[in-house]
Amino acid sequence: MLFNGLDLTPYLKIKAISGRGISQTELAMLEVPGMNGAHLQRKRRPPRPLEIEADIRANNPEELRIKMDELNGILAVDEPVPIVFLDEPNITYYGIPESTGENDEFPFMHQGQLTIICPDPYKYGPELTADIPSDTVTLTNEGTADADPIFEMEVLAPVTFAMIQNQNNEYMMIGQPVDVDATVPFQRFERIFNSSGSSLVGWTDATAVDGGSVAGTMETNGTRFQAADYGTGTSWHGPAIKTSLSEVLTDFRLETTIGFWNKQPDEVGRVEIYLLDVNGNQVAKVAMKDTQSGHALAVGEARAGEVNNGHFLIKEYGDSPGNWNNFFGVLRIQREGNQWYAYFAKVDQSTGKHHTRRTVTWSDNEGLYTRTVAQVVVHVARHGTHTSGAMGVYSVEVFKINQESTGIPYIADAGDIITFDHQSEDLLINGESRTDLKDFGGSYFKLQKGENQLVTLPSGSFNTSIKYRERYK
Protein backbone atom coordinates (compact mmCIF):
# COMPACT_ATOMS: atom_id res chain seq x y z
CA MET A 1 0.00 0.00 0.00
CA LEU A 2 1.31 3.42 -0.99
CA PHE A 3 0.08 6.23 1.25
CA ASN A 4 0.90 9.76 0.11
CA GLY A 5 3.74 8.32 -1.97
CA LEU A 6 5.23 6.25 0.89
CA ASP A 7 5.34 2.46 0.79
CA LEU A 8 3.81 1.14 4.03
CA THR A 9 5.01 -2.43 3.46
CA PRO A 10 7.70 -2.12 6.19
CA TYR A 11 4.96 -1.15 8.66
CA LEU A 12 1.80 -3.04 7.72
CA LYS A 13 1.00 -6.63 6.84
CA ILE A 14 -2.39 -6.11 5.20
CA LYS A 15 -4.82 -8.99 5.65
CA ALA A 16 -8.05 -7.58 4.20
CA ILE A 17 -9.38 -4.46 2.45
CA SER A 18 -13.03 -3.51 2.04
CA GLY A 19 -14.65 -0.56 0.31
CA ARG A 20 -13.39 -1.22 -3.21
CA GLY A 21 -16.31 -3.29 -4.42
CA ILE A 22 -19.74 -2.29 -5.74
CA SER A 23 -20.13 1.45 -5.16
CA GLN A 24 -22.83 2.83 -2.89
CA THR A 25 -25.60 5.21 -3.89
CA GLU A 26 -27.84 7.22 -1.59
CA LEU A 27 -31.39 7.92 -2.78
CA ALA A 28 -33.58 10.79 -1.62
CA MET A 29 -37.26 9.79 -1.83
CA LEU A 30 -40.46 11.80 -1.44
CA GLU A 31 -43.44 9.88 -0.09
CA VAL A 32 -46.95 11.12 -0.89
CA PRO A 33 -49.84 10.14 1.40
CA GLY A 34 -52.10 7.61 -0.31
CA MET A 35 -49.58 6.82 -3.01
CA ASN A 36 -47.84 3.51 -3.33
CA GLY A 37 -44.09 3.80 -3.30
CA ALA A 38 -42.40 7.19 -3.52
CA HIS A 39 -40.99 9.76 -5.95
CA LEU A 40 -37.26 9.66 -6.58
CA GLN A 41 -35.94 13.18 -5.95
CA ARG A 42 -32.22 12.70 -6.44
CA LYS A 43 -29.36 10.32 -5.94
CA ARG A 44 -25.81 10.91 -4.79
CA ARG A 45 -22.64 9.00 -4.13
CA PRO A 46 -21.55 9.26 -0.49
CA PRO A 47 -17.89 9.35 0.57
CA ARG A 48 -16.09 6.05 0.11
CA PRO A 49 -14.86 4.30 3.30
CA LEU A 50 -11.83 2.05 2.98
CA GLU A 51 -11.53 -0.48 5.80
CA ILE A 52 -8.08 -2.01 6.17
CA GLU A 53 -7.30 -4.88 8.52
CA ALA A 54 -3.58 -5.25 9.13
CA ASP A 55 -0.82 -6.35 11.47
CA ILE A 56 2.16 -4.30 12.56
CA ARG A 57 5.04 -6.74 13.05
CA ALA A 58 8.44 -6.23 14.64
CA ASN A 59 11.42 -8.18 15.95
CA ASN A 60 11.04 -6.97 19.54
CA PRO A 61 8.71 -4.81 21.69
CA GLU A 62 10.90 -1.72 21.34
CA GLU A 63 10.87 -1.91 17.55
CA LEU A 64 7.09 -2.38 17.63
CA ARG A 65 6.62 0.88 19.56
CA ILE A 66 8.96 2.71 17.18
CA LYS A 67 7.07 1.44 14.12
CA MET A 68 3.74 2.49 15.61
CA ASP A 69 5.06 5.99 16.38
CA GLU A 70 6.45 6.34 12.85
CA LEU A 71 3.20 5.09 11.32
CA ASN A 72 1.17 7.56 13.38
CA GLY A 73 3.34 10.35 11.98
CA ILE A 74 2.90 9.17 8.39
CA LEU A 75 -0.90 8.91 8.73
CA ALA A 76 -1.28 12.35 10.38
CA VAL A 77 -2.30 14.27 7.26
CA ASP A 78 -4.63 17.28 7.10
CA GLU A 79 -6.27 16.62 3.74
CA PRO A 80 -6.98 13.71 1.41
CA VAL A 81 -3.81 12.20 -0.05
CA PRO A 82 -3.22 9.66 -2.86
CA ILE A 83 -3.55 6.00 -1.89
CA VAL A 84 -2.53 3.10 -4.14
CA PHE A 85 -2.97 -0.61 -3.42
CA LEU A 86 -0.50 -3.07 -4.89
CA ASP A 87 -3.24 -5.17 -6.52
CA GLU A 88 -4.52 -2.00 -8.30
CA PRO A 89 -1.24 -0.34 -9.29
CA ASN A 90 -2.81 1.97 -11.89
CA ILE A 91 -5.67 3.18 -9.69
CA THR A 92 -5.47 6.01 -7.14
CA TYR A 93 -7.87 6.77 -4.30
CA TYR A 94 -7.79 10.05 -2.37
CA GLY A 95 -8.50 9.66 1.32
CA ILE A 96 -7.71 10.72 4.87
CA PRO A 97 -7.54 8.42 7.93
CA GLU A 98 -10.58 8.74 10.18
CA SER A 99 -10.38 6.07 12.87
CA THR A 100 -8.54 2.99 14.04
CA GLY A 101 -9.50 -0.13 15.90
CA GLU A 102 -7.41 -2.48 18.02
CA ASN A 103 -7.74 -6.25 18.33
CA ASP A 104 -4.82 -7.85 20.13
CA GLU A 105 -1.28 -6.82 20.86
CA PHE A 106 1.62 -9.15 21.41
CA PRO A 107 5.27 -8.39 22.16
CA PHE A 108 6.12 -8.62 18.46
CA MET A 109 2.81 -7.78 16.76
CA HIS A 110 -0.11 -5.35 16.91
CA GLN A 111 -3.39 -6.32 15.23
CA GLY A 112 -5.92 -3.65 14.25
CA GLN A 113 -8.02 -1.86 11.69
CA LEU A 114 -7.64 1.46 9.89
CA THR A 115 -10.57 3.36 8.38
CA ILE A 116 -9.78 5.80 5.59
CA ILE A 117 -12.50 8.10 4.27
CA CYS A 118 -12.40 9.22 0.64
CA PRO A 119 -14.53 12.42 0.40
CA ASP A 120 -14.25 12.03 -3.37
CA PRO A 121 -15.77 8.57 -3.92
CA TYR A 122 -14.24 8.13 -7.38
CA LYS A 123 -10.99 6.36 -8.12
CA TYR A 124 -8.61 7.63 -10.76
CA GLY A 125 -6.39 6.21 -13.46
CA PRO A 126 -3.04 7.69 -14.52
CA GLU A 127 -2.89 11.04 -16.29
CA LEU A 128 -3.43 10.72 -20.04
CA THR A 129 -2.60 13.22 -22.77
CA ALA A 130 -3.93 13.73 -26.28
CA ASP A 131 -3.47 16.31 -29.03
CA ILE A 132 -6.11 18.09 -31.09
CA PRO A 133 -4.76 18.01 -34.68
CA SER A 134 -6.29 20.38 -37.23
CA ASP A 135 -8.61 21.92 -34.61
CA THR A 136 -10.77 18.79 -34.17
CA VAL A 137 -10.43 15.46 -32.39
CA THR A 138 -12.56 12.50 -31.36
CA LEU A 139 -11.48 11.31 -27.93
CA THR A 140 -12.69 8.20 -26.11
CA ASN A 141 -12.93 8.34 -22.32
CA GLU A 142 -12.72 4.70 -21.26
CA GLY A 143 -13.51 5.37 -17.61
CA THR A 144 -16.89 4.56 -16.08
CA ALA A 145 -17.53 8.20 -15.11
CA ASP A 146 -17.08 11.63 -16.68
CA ALA A 147 -13.57 13.12 -16.47
CA ASP A 148 -12.31 16.67 -15.86
CA PRO A 149 -10.08 17.82 -18.75
CA ILE A 150 -7.28 20.37 -18.77
CA PHE A 151 -6.83 21.99 -22.19
CA GLU A 152 -3.53 23.70 -23.02
CA MET A 153 -3.38 25.86 -26.14
CA GLU A 154 -0.13 27.19 -27.57
CA VAL A 155 -1.05 30.35 -29.48
CA LEU A 156 0.23 30.45 -33.08
CA ALA A 157 -1.02 33.94 -34.01
CA PRO A 158 -2.66 36.83 -32.13
CA VAL A 159 -6.23 35.99 -31.08
CA THR A 160 -9.11 37.99 -29.63
CA PHE A 161 -10.74 34.84 -28.24
CA ALA A 162 -10.12 31.16 -27.57
CA MET A 163 -12.88 28.56 -27.55
CA ILE A 164 -13.30 24.79 -27.16
CA GLN A 165 -16.67 23.11 -27.83
CA ASN A 166 -17.94 19.53 -27.57
CA GLN A 167 -20.63 17.61 -29.45
CA ASN A 168 -23.29 18.68 -26.94
CA ASN A 169 -22.75 22.38 -27.74
CA GLU A 170 -21.14 22.88 -24.35
CA TYR A 171 -18.22 25.26 -24.64
CA MET A 172 -15.62 27.29 -22.80
CA MET A 173 -14.47 30.64 -24.18
CA ILE A 174 -12.41 33.62 -23.12
CA GLY A 175 -12.28 36.91 -24.99
CA GLN A 176 -14.54 38.08 -27.82
CA PRO A 177 -14.83 37.13 -31.50
CA VAL A 178 -14.52 39.97 -34.00
CA ASP A 179 -17.55 41.12 -35.99
CA VAL A 180 -15.88 42.08 -39.27
CA ASP A 181 -18.73 44.46 -40.13
CA ALA A 182 -18.59 46.37 -36.86
CA THR A 183 -15.23 46.01 -35.12
CA VAL A 184 -11.53 45.52 -35.74
CA PRO A 185 -8.98 43.73 -33.57
CA PHE A 186 -6.18 45.75 -32.00
CA GLN A 187 -3.13 45.22 -29.80
CA ARG A 188 -4.06 46.81 -26.48
CA PHE A 189 -0.74 45.90 -24.86
CA GLU A 190 1.94 46.60 -27.47
CA ARG A 191 5.36 45.38 -26.36
CA ILE A 192 7.98 48.02 -27.15
CA PHE A 193 10.80 46.70 -24.97
CA ASN A 194 11.83 43.19 -23.99
CA SER A 195 15.05 42.09 -22.29
CA SER A 196 15.48 38.46 -21.28
CA GLY A 197 18.35 39.08 -18.87
CA SER A 198 20.73 37.14 -21.10
CA SER A 199 22.66 40.10 -22.51
CA LEU A 200 23.82 43.52 -21.30
CA VAL A 201 23.95 44.92 -24.85
CA GLY A 202 22.05 48.22 -24.91
CA TRP A 203 22.37 48.79 -21.16
CA THR A 204 24.61 51.39 -19.52
CA ASP A 205 25.43 52.19 -15.90
CA ALA A 206 22.79 54.14 -14.00
CA THR A 207 23.75 56.85 -11.52
CA ALA A 208 21.01 57.07 -8.89
CA VAL A 209 18.87 54.71 -6.78
CA ASP A 210 16.64 55.08 -3.72
CA GLY A 211 18.38 55.56 -0.37
CA GLY A 212 21.80 54.33 -1.39
CA SER A 213 24.58 54.40 -3.95
CA VAL A 214 25.39 52.74 -7.24
CA ALA A 215 28.46 50.52 -6.76
CA GLY A 216 29.96 47.33 -8.11
CA THR A 217 29.13 45.83 -11.49
CA MET A 218 26.22 44.02 -13.11
CA GLU A 219 26.64 40.78 -15.06
CA THR A 220 24.47 38.16 -16.70
CA ASN A 221 24.74 34.46 -15.96
CA GLY A 222 22.98 33.70 -19.23
CA THR A 223 19.47 33.78 -17.80
CA ARG A 224 19.35 36.76 -15.42
CA PHE A 225 20.95 40.08 -14.51
CA GLN A 226 22.81 39.79 -11.21
CA ALA A 227 25.62 41.48 -9.32
CA ALA A 228 29.14 40.45 -10.25
CA ASP A 229 30.04 42.40 -7.11
CA TYR A 230 28.13 44.84 -4.91
CA GLY A 231 30.93 47.30 -4.23
CA THR A 232 31.01 48.87 -0.78
CA GLY A 233 28.95 51.34 1.20
CA THR A 234 27.43 52.02 4.60
CA SER A 235 23.84 51.95 3.32
CA TRP A 236 22.31 50.27 0.26
CA HIS A 237 24.94 49.66 -2.42
CA GLY A 238 25.01 47.64 -5.59
CA PRO A 239 25.05 47.85 -9.38
CA ALA A 240 22.37 49.56 -11.46
CA ILE A 241 21.94 49.61 -15.22
CA LYS A 242 19.59 51.59 -17.43
CA THR A 243 18.33 51.69 -20.99
CA SER A 244 16.09 53.95 -23.06
CA LEU A 245 12.79 53.02 -24.67
CA SER A 246 12.11 53.43 -28.37
CA GLU A 247 9.32 55.90 -27.61
CA VAL A 248 8.01 57.93 -24.70
CA LEU A 249 4.92 56.43 -23.06
CA THR A 250 1.94 57.97 -21.30
CA ASP A 251 -0.12 54.81 -20.74
CA PHE A 252 2.24 51.94 -19.94
CA ARG A 253 2.76 48.56 -18.31
CA LEU A 254 6.01 47.32 -16.77
CA GLU A 255 6.34 43.59 -16.12
CA THR A 256 9.43 41.89 -14.75
CA THR A 257 10.30 38.38 -13.61
CA ILE A 258 12.70 38.32 -10.67
CA GLY A 259 14.28 35.90 -8.24
CA PHE A 260 14.87 36.92 -4.63
CA TRP A 261 16.04 34.23 -2.23
CA ASN A 262 16.32 35.15 1.46
CA LYS A 263 16.66 31.69 2.97
CA GLN A 264 18.83 32.73 5.91
CA PRO A 265 17.58 35.13 8.61
CA ASP A 266 20.70 37.31 8.42
CA GLU A 267 20.46 37.92 4.65
CA VAL A 268 19.52 41.46 3.60
CA GLY A 269 19.02 42.60 0.02
CA ARG A 270 16.78 44.18 -2.60
CA VAL A 271 15.85 43.93 -6.27
CA GLU A 272 14.36 47.10 -7.79
CA ILE A 273 13.19 48.19 -11.23
CA TYR A 274 12.52 51.88 -11.87
CA LEU A 275 10.77 53.72 -14.67
CA LEU A 276 12.16 57.20 -15.42
CA ASP A 277 11.15 60.13 -17.60
CA VAL A 278 13.49 61.74 -20.17
CA ASN A 279 15.11 63.84 -17.42
CA GLY A 280 15.80 60.89 -15.13
CA ASN A 281 12.94 61.61 -12.71
CA GLN A 282 11.21 58.57 -11.26
CA VAL A 283 7.78 57.67 -12.63
CA ALA A 284 7.25 54.32 -10.90
CA LYS A 285 9.07 51.50 -9.14
CA VAL A 286 8.57 47.83 -8.27
CA ALA A 287 10.79 46.03 -5.79
CA MET A 288 11.25 43.00 -3.57
CA LYS A 289 13.45 43.46 -0.51
CA ASP A 290 14.40 42.08 2.89
CA THR A 291 15.54 44.83 5.26
CA GLN A 292 15.56 42.85 8.50
CA SER A 293 18.76 41.35 9.87
CA GLY A 294 18.03 38.32 12.03
CA HIS A 295 14.59 37.63 10.53
CA ALA A 296 13.77 36.53 6.98
CA LEU A 297 10.93 38.77 5.76
CA ALA A 298 10.55 39.71 2.09
CA VAL A 299 8.47 42.82 1.41
CA GLY A 300 7.14 43.84 -1.99
CA GLU A 301 6.79 47.43 -3.15
CA ALA A 302 4.91 48.98 -6.06
CA ARG A 303 5.05 52.78 -6.10
CA ALA A 304 3.83 55.62 -8.26
CA GLY A 305 6.16 58.62 -8.19
CA GLU A 306 9.40 59.24 -6.32
CA VAL A 307 10.70 57.94 -3.01
CA ASN A 308 9.90 61.08 -0.99
CA ASN A 309 6.46 61.93 -2.35
CA GLY A 310 5.22 58.78 -4.05
CA HIS A 311 2.13 56.66 -3.48
CA PHE A 312 2.57 52.98 -2.62
CA LEU A 313 0.06 50.63 -4.20
CA ILE A 314 1.86 47.72 -2.54
CA LYS A 315 4.16 47.84 0.48
CA GLU A 316 3.70 44.57 2.36
CA TYR A 317 4.83 40.98 2.89
CA GLY A 318 1.76 39.30 1.34
CA ASP A 319 -1.15 37.73 3.18
CA SER A 320 1.05 36.69 6.11
CA PRO A 321 4.69 37.22 7.16
CA GLY A 322 7.03 35.16 5.03
CA ASN A 323 4.60 34.64 2.13
CA TRP A 324 6.97 36.30 -0.33
CA ASN A 325 10.18 34.85 1.07
CA ASN A 326 12.31 33.12 -1.57
CA PHE A 327 10.32 34.88 -4.25
CA PHE A 328 10.43 33.76 -7.86
CA GLY A 329 7.72 35.47 -9.82
CA VAL A 330 6.21 38.49 -11.51
CA LEU A 331 6.13 42.15 -10.50
CA ARG A 332 3.85 44.37 -12.59
CA ILE A 333 2.78 48.01 -12.49
CA GLN A 334 0.80 50.00 -15.03
CA ARG A 335 -0.92 53.33 -15.58
CA GLU A 336 -3.82 54.00 -17.91
CA GLY A 337 -5.19 57.52 -17.69
CA ASN A 338 -5.35 58.20 -13.96
CA GLN A 339 -5.84 54.53 -13.11
CA TRP A 340 -2.88 52.71 -11.56
CA TYR A 341 -2.66 48.95 -11.17
CA ALA A 342 -0.12 46.63 -9.53
CA TYR A 343 0.11 42.85 -9.54
CA PHE A 344 2.63 40.65 -7.70
CA ALA A 345 2.63 36.85 -7.88
CA LYS A 346 4.95 33.96 -7.19
CA VAL A 347 5.29 31.55 -10.12
CA ASP A 348 5.49 27.78 -9.72
CA GLN A 349 8.60 26.94 -11.74
CA SER A 350 7.33 23.44 -12.57
CA THR A 351 3.84 24.39 -13.80
CA GLY A 352 4.14 28.12 -14.57
CA LYS A 353 1.03 28.85 -12.48
CA HIS A 354 0.81 32.08 -10.51
CA HIS A 355 0.08 31.90 -6.78
CA THR A 356 0.53 33.92 -3.56
CA ARG A 357 -0.82 36.92 -5.44
CA ARG A 358 -1.69 40.51 -4.72
CA THR A 359 -3.66 42.83 -7.02
CA VAL A 360 -4.19 46.52 -6.21
CA THR A 361 -5.84 49.33 -8.18
CA TRP A 362 -5.75 53.04 -7.35
CA SER A 363 -7.13 56.20 -8.94
CA ASP A 364 -4.84 59.24 -9.06
CA ASN A 365 -7.77 61.63 -8.94
CA GLU A 366 -5.54 64.62 -8.17
CA GLY A 367 -3.29 63.99 -11.15
CA LEU A 368 -0.12 63.86 -9.05
CA TYR A 369 1.77 61.24 -11.03
CA THR A 370 1.57 62.03 -14.73
CA ARG A 371 5.19 61.96 -15.92
CA THR A 372 5.82 60.02 -19.11
CA VAL A 373 8.10 56.97 -19.26
CA ALA A 374 11.32 57.00 -21.29
CA GLN A 375 13.88 54.85 -19.41
CA VAL A 376 14.18 51.65 -17.36
CA VAL A 377 16.62 50.99 -14.50
CA VAL A 378 17.50 47.58 -13.00
CA HIS A 379 19.16 47.58 -9.56
CA VAL A 380 20.26 44.93 -7.04
CA ALA A 381 21.84 45.81 -3.70
CA ARG A 382 23.09 44.80 -0.28
CA HIS A 383 23.07 46.95 2.84
CA GLY A 384 26.31 47.84 4.60
CA THR A 385 28.30 44.72 5.45
CA HIS A 386 25.29 42.41 5.53
CA THR A 387 25.28 39.34 3.31
CA SER A 388 22.50 38.63 0.83
CA GLY A 389 21.00 35.60 -0.83
CA ALA A 390 20.95 34.98 -4.56
CA MET A 391 18.87 37.52 -6.47
CA GLY A 392 18.47 38.84 -9.97
CA VAL A 393 16.21 39.91 -12.82
CA TYR A 394 15.20 37.34 -15.45
CA SER A 395 13.21 39.57 -17.77
CA VAL A 396 11.98 43.13 -18.20
CA GLU A 397 9.11 44.04 -20.52
CA VAL A 398 7.52 47.42 -21.17
CA PHE A 399 4.22 47.75 -23.01
CA LYS A 400 2.46 50.71 -24.58
CA ILE A 401 -1.26 50.63 -23.75
CA ASN A 402 -3.24 51.53 -26.87
CA GLN A 403 -6.78 52.89 -26.76
CA GLU A 404 -9.48 51.88 -29.25
CA SER A 405 -13.06 52.65 -28.26
CA THR A 406 -14.72 50.36 -30.82
CA GLY A 407 -12.09 47.66 -31.31
CA ILE A 408 -11.72 44.19 -29.81
CA PRO A 409 -8.36 43.68 -28.07
CA TYR A 410 -6.15 40.69 -28.68
CA ILE A 411 -5.97 38.58 -25.52
CA ALA A 412 -2.92 36.50 -26.46
CA ASP A 413 0.00 36.63 -28.85
CA ALA A 414 2.06 33.99 -30.64
CA GLY A 415 3.94 31.87 -28.11
CA ASP A 416 1.52 32.49 -25.25
CA ILE A 417 -0.08 29.54 -23.47
CA ILE A 418 -3.82 29.53 -22.74
CA THR A 419 -5.05 26.92 -20.25
CA PHE A 420 -8.65 25.89 -19.61
CA ASP A 421 -8.43 23.95 -16.36
CA HIS A 422 -11.84 22.29 -15.97
CA GLN A 423 -10.58 20.36 -12.96
CA SER A 424 -9.87 23.36 -10.75
CA GLU A 425 -12.26 25.62 -12.71
CA ASP A 426 -9.65 28.18 -13.67
CA LEU A 427 -8.69 29.93 -16.91
CA LEU A 428 -5.06 30.92 -17.36
CA ILE A 429 -2.91 32.88 -19.77
CA ASN A 430 0.79 32.19 -19.23
CA GLY A 431 -0.02 30.87 -15.76
CA GLU A 432 -2.02 33.94 -14.69
CA SER A 433 -5.67 33.45 -13.79
CA ARG A 434 -7.88 35.32 -16.30
CA THR A 435 -11.39 34.28 -15.34
CA ASP A 436 -12.31 37.94 -15.91
CA LEU A 437 -12.22 37.14 -19.64
CA LYS A 438 -14.64 34.19 -19.40
CA ASP A 439 -17.66 34.28 -21.69
CA PHE A 440 -20.92 34.34 -19.73
CA GLY A 441 -22.26 31.20 -21.42
CA GLY A 442 -19.06 29.19 -21.07
CA SER A 443 -18.96 26.18 -18.74
CA TYR A 444 -16.30 23.87 -17.32
CA PHE A 445 -17.72 20.89 -19.19
CA LYS A 446 -16.54 17.32 -18.63
CA LEU A 447 -15.33 14.58 -20.92
CA GLN A 448 -18.29 12.23 -20.91
CA LYS A 449 -17.63 8.52 -20.71
CA GLY A 450 -17.33 7.14 -24.19
CA GLU A 451 -16.80 9.22 -27.30
CA ASN A 452 -16.16 12.99 -27.21
CA GLN A 453 -15.89 15.29 -30.22
CA LEU A 454 -13.93 18.48 -29.57
CA VAL A 455 -13.34 21.56 -31.73
CA THR A 456 -11.08 24.58 -31.09
CA LEU A 457 -11.69 28.08 -32.45
CA PRO A 458 -10.52 30.24 -34.13
CA SER A 459 -9.28 27.69 -36.64
CA GLY A 460 -5.56 27.39 -37.22
CA SER A 461 -4.68 29.47 -34.16
CA PHE A 462 -3.52 26.86 -31.65
CA ASN A 463 -1.53 23.75 -30.98
CA THR A 464 -3.84 22.15 -28.41
CA SER A 465 -3.29 19.28 -26.02
CA ILE A 466 -5.56 17.68 -23.42
CA LYS A 467 -4.68 16.18 -20.06
CA TYR A 468 -7.19 14.14 -18.07
CA ARG A 469 -7.53 11.20 -15.72
CA GLU A 470 -10.13 8.55 -16.32
CA ARG A 471 -12.48 8.19 -13.35
CA TYR A 472 -14.11 5.01 -12.13
CA LYS A 473 -17.16 4.56 -9.93
Which pLDDT tens digit goes with each residue over 391-403?
999 999 999 999 8
Q: What are phi and psi of 417, to 5 degrees?
A: -120, 120
Q: What is the CATH number of the domain that holds 432?
A: 2.60.120.860
Q: Could you say which of 401, 428, 450 is where a domain stops?
A: 401
| 368 and 305 both lie in a single domain | yes
Q: Could you say which of 348, 374, 401 is where a domain stops?
A: 401
The 3-state DSSP class for residue 133 equals helix
Question: pLDDT-based confidence at 13, cuts 50/70/90?
Answer: very high
- Strands 236-238, 212-214: pairing kind: parallel
| 255 and 385 both lie in a single domain | yes
Cis peptide before 49 (omega within 30 of 0): no
What Cα–Cα distance (Å) separates residue 101 from each residue in 97, 294, 338? Answer: 12, 47, 66
| 223 and 260 both lie in a single domain | yes
DSSP annotation of 73:
H
Contacts 24+ apart (CB under 8 A), 352-356: 352/417, 352/430, 352/431, 353/428, 353/431, 354/329, 354/330, 354/428, 354/431, 354/432, 354/433, 356/318, 356/319, 356/323, 356/324, 356/329
| 53 and 139 both lie in a single domain | no
| 91 and 40 both lie in a single domain | yes
Which pLDDT tens digit goes with each residue over 447-464?
999 999 999 999 999 999
Closest CA to 123 of 43, 50, 52, 54: 50
- Please answer whether residues 469 and 127 qualify as being in contact, where contact means their C-beta atoms are separated by less than 8 angstroms: yes
Question: pLDDT-based confidence at 110, cuts 50/70/90?
Answer: confident
What total number of domains does the chain contain?
Answer: 3
| 300 and 347 both lie in a single domain | yes
Residues counted in the chain:
473
pLDDT average, residue stretch 224-243: 97
Angle at 299 between CA 295 and CA 301, to 5 degrees: 160
Task: Residue 182: give the domain boundaries.
Answer: 125-187+407-472
pLDDT average, residue stretch 122-146: 94
Which pLDDT tens digit goes with each residue over 262-287?
999 999 999 999 999 999 999 999 99
Q: Could you say which of 94, 121, 148 is where a domain stops?
A: 121
The 3-state DSSP class for residue 277 equals coil
Which pLDDT tens digit goes with each residue over 307-341?
999 999 999 999 999 999 999 999 999 999 999 99
